């Protein structure tokens, strides 16, 4: 069973991934800049940051899969993309990398524009979305052969709309997942199920995919 490390494991996406991984019996390490007071029983919590790649890699020894759930916002804006690029170079070749991106890079239809390029995409979220897209582009351009996956959550994803764990989701490939009313949503727990399903039964080798209801 893969041993998993989650960078940003105390954030919204990361904490749900840690919880689901422990639920399935994985050995799980959560790495964040501070250790939370409330922890998931069965997970190991370490202080660390993706901005210190040499120190981070030392903490990741023996791990099979590393999932970056850090977001390029706040004091991480402009710093996450180069840090992930450095991490890709520094990790052992046999370690699989997963990256939680944003919805902005998803296509709105097959062969169509990206969500970020549509009229309704809020200007305030564009810097974060562009950096997340840049991370994806770097992975796609990587010629080392390292295995990776990149997952776009639905448009409605975050602590402001957590939802309930249903155990179901849809994989939209490159296209944003929407329901019959055109709404795009995924709860944190079900998003984590999609991530762990991909870790346990890889279907997206060196690919991105979208997740929603």
Counting the structural domains of the chain, the total is 1
Domain range enclosing 79: 4-212
Q: For the whole model, what pTM was predicted? A: 0.96
pLDDT, tens only, 170-190: 999 999 999 999 999 999 999
Query: Residue 162 pLDDT more than 90?
Result: no
pLDDT-derived band at 38, boundaries 50, 70, 90: confident
In contact, 199 and 2? CB cutoff 8 Å: yes
Average pLDDT of span 6-27: 97
| CATH label of the domain that carries residue 104 | 3.40.50.720
């Amino acid at each position: 069973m893969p041993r998993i490390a989650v960078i940003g494991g105390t954030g919204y996406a990361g904490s749900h991934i840690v919880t689901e991984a422990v639920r399935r019996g994985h050995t799980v390490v959560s790495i964040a800049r501070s250790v939370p007071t409330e922890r998931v029983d069965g997970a190991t919590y370490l202080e660390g940051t993706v901005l210190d790649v040499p120190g981070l890699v030392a903490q990741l020894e023996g791990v099979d899969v590393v999932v970056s759930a850090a977001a390029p916002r706040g004091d991480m804006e402009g710093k996450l993309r180069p840090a992930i690029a450095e991490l890709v170079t520094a990790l052992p070749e046999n370690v699989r990398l997963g990256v939680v991106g944003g919805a902005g890079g998803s296509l709105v239809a097959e062969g169509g524009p990206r969500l970020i390029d549509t009229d309704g995409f809020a200007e305030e979220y564009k810097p974060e979305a562009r950096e997340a897209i840049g991370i994806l582009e770097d992975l796609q351009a990587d010629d080392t052969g390292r295995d990776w996956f990149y997952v776009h959550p639905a448009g409605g994803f975050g602590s402001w709309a957590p939802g309930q764990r249903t155990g179901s989701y849809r994989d939209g490939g490159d296209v944003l997942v929407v329901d019959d009313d055109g709404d795009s949503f995924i709860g944190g727990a079900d998003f984590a199920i999609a991530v762990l399903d991909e870790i346990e039964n890889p279907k997206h080798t060196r690919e991105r995919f979208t997740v929603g209801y």
